[in-house]
Amino acid sequence: MGPLSGYRVIELAGLGPCPMAGMLLADMGAEVICIDRGGNLPPLYTEDMSRRGKKSIVVNLKSPQGRETLLQLIATADVLIEGFRPGVTEKLGIGPQDCHAVNPALVYGRMTGWGQTGPLAHNAGHDINYISITGALHAIGVKGQKPVVPLNLVGDFGGGTMFLVSGVLAALLEAKNSGKGQVVDAAMVDGAANLMWMCHSFHASNMWNFNERGVNMLDGGAFYYDTYETADGKYVAIGAIEPQFFTTLVEKGGLDPDIFNLHTQNDADQWDAKKAILAEVIKQKSRDEWCALLENTDACFSPVLTAHEAFDYPHNRERDAYIELDGYKQPAPAPRFSRTRSEVRHGQHPPGHDTRTVLEHLGLSGDAIQTLLEQGAVE
């Protein structure tokens, strides 16, 4: 039923951003076939939520028969996504030129940290490295302290996965008109740089200081956009930027209007002092008490929940934001569609689970499949 129903995606197995892209495409209805490698599985591979909804075949890409089998499968696909270093798939004989020779309309999505070109293109790296050269990492943290690592959300998944998916979908739309495929070079450094667009806009308007962290409106510098500890050692988040929301926070929260008023709200010279006062006020009540006062208002207030608490939070529960699959809870498909609903069709399949089925649908006979198995071309 998903909007990508009828599309076939080949995913060369890996970890992180590229597998998440495959998960999102599978959730949206695409048939995603993961090309796994045999041998020992990487840590956590057997509990990898990104494998949900995907089929799995094991192909020996170093075998001529395995490579030929994969190219036959690629000839039937709409998309291929891979997350190797530049040049690796070319060496394996399944680079863009090889694949377009058998399928000119194929969208070839490439996910890397540094990109396909540039002096760092062949270097190893991780999320923290990619966001560090875009200014994103420097901007995150407390005033006067070192940068804070924002999990691996900004580079891997925000700058990586989301730009790979949007690029693949755009190329698919274009291919329907031109009949021609193309390569999508999705680099985490490019994506993370784009995620910084609003900070650059503020800076151009003299509203953002790139030299210091924790002194700007959206980086924890402003007292009205920060987290605060409550009486029970938990935390709440406040983001009352706009005047009407700030007024609601002051009124509903019982704050002193002589201190917290619209006239001085954006006087940065007073932010530290007001933050200290607000911290003392917030610490007088428990998180639940503040929720009772400010939830369901326009104060731009929310409790800071642990991942486990998020499962049972009323708003998340009402929207079915999490599902249970393979014995544990995980995020439900997003975004949501009114007519072609996304869904998780099944849990994760172990490597090789669908080898025979996929090859049968490709038109190979039982004897041909058995020969490939005996040759070690597939498992």
In a domain, 215, yes or no: no
In a domain, 357, yes or no: yes
In a domain, 202, yes or no: no
pLDDT for the residue 40: 62
Mark whether 313 and 346 lie in a shared domain.
Answer: no
Largest CA distance in the chain: 84
Mark whether 165 and 188 lie in a shared domain.
Answer: yes
Mark whether 21 and 137 lie in a shared domain.
Answer: yes
Domain count, the chain: 2
The angle at the Cα of 20, spanning 178 to 348, to the nearest 5 degrees, equals: 115
Mark whether 137 and 246 lie in a shared domain.
Answer: no
Indicate if the pLDDT at residue 227 is higher than 80. yes
pLDDT for the residue 26: 98
Mean pLDDT of 343-365: 95
Among 280, 295, 318, residue at a domain's last position: 318
In a domain, 1, yes or no: no
Mark whether 158 and 230 lie in a shared domain.
Answer: no
Among 318, 336, 353, residue at a domain's last position: 318
pLDDT category, 45, cuts 50, 70, 90?
A: low
> In terms of residue numbers, what domain contains 45?
8-194+325-375
pLDDT digits (tens, 9 = 90+) for 24-42: 999 999 999 999 987 666 5
In a domain, 114, yes or no: yes
Residue 308 annotated as catalytic: no
Mark whether 353 and 309 lie in a shared domain.
Answer: no
Mark whether 364 and 339 lie in a shared domain.
Answer: yes
CB 127 within 8 A of CB 150: no
pLDDT for the residue 134: 98
In a domain, 208, yes or no: no
Q: What phi and psi, each to the nearest 5 degrees, are found at residue 54?
A: -105, 150
Write the secondary structure of 352-370 as one string of H (helix), E (strand) and C (coil).
CCCHHHHHHHCCCCHHHHH
Among 318, 341, 360, residue at a domain's last position: 318
Mark whether 77 and 143 lie in a shared domain.
Answer: yes
pLDDT digits (tens, 9 = 90+) for 178-225: 999 999 999 999 999 999 999 999 999 999 999 999 999 999 999 999
Q: What CATH number has the domain bearing residue 97?
A: 3.40.50.10540
pLDDT for the residue 37: 87
pLDDT for the residue 43: 56
Mark whether 65 and 117 lie in a shared domain.
Answer: yes
Mark whether 352 and 249 lie in a shared domain.
Answer: no
Question: Which of 126, 256, 272, 346 is the catalytic position?
Answer: 126
Contacts 24+ apart (CB under 8 A), 255-260: 255/281
Mark whether 345 and 290 lie in a shared domain.
Answer: no
pLDDT for the residue 38: 76
Indicate if the pLDDT at residue 63 is higher than 60. yes
Indicate if the pLDDT at residue 135 is higher than 70. yes
**Sheet containing 107-112: which strands, arranged edge to edge?**
55-58, 31-36, 8-12, 79-82, 107-112, 182-187
As a whole number, the mean pLDDT across the chain is 96
86: left (phi over 0), alpha (psi -120 to 50) or beta: beta
In a domain, 216, yes or no: no
pLDDT for the residue 1: 84
Question: Which of 36, 48, 78, 156 is the catalytic position?
Answer: 156
- Of the two residues 251 and 46, the one the predictor is more confident about is 251
Q: What CATH number has the domain bearing residue 262?
A: 3.30.1540.10
* Token pair belonging to 186: 């999705």
CB 140 within 8 A of CB 147: yes
97: left (phi over 0), alpha (psi -120 to 50) or beta: alpha
How many C-beta neighbours within 10 Å does residue 248 have?
A: 18
Residue 263 annotated as catalytic: no
Mark whether 155 and 38 lie in a shared domain.
Answer: yes
In a domain, 199, yes or no: no
pLDDT for the residue 47: 79
CB 34 within 8 A of CB 83: no
pLDDT category, 46, cuts 50, 70, 90?
A: low
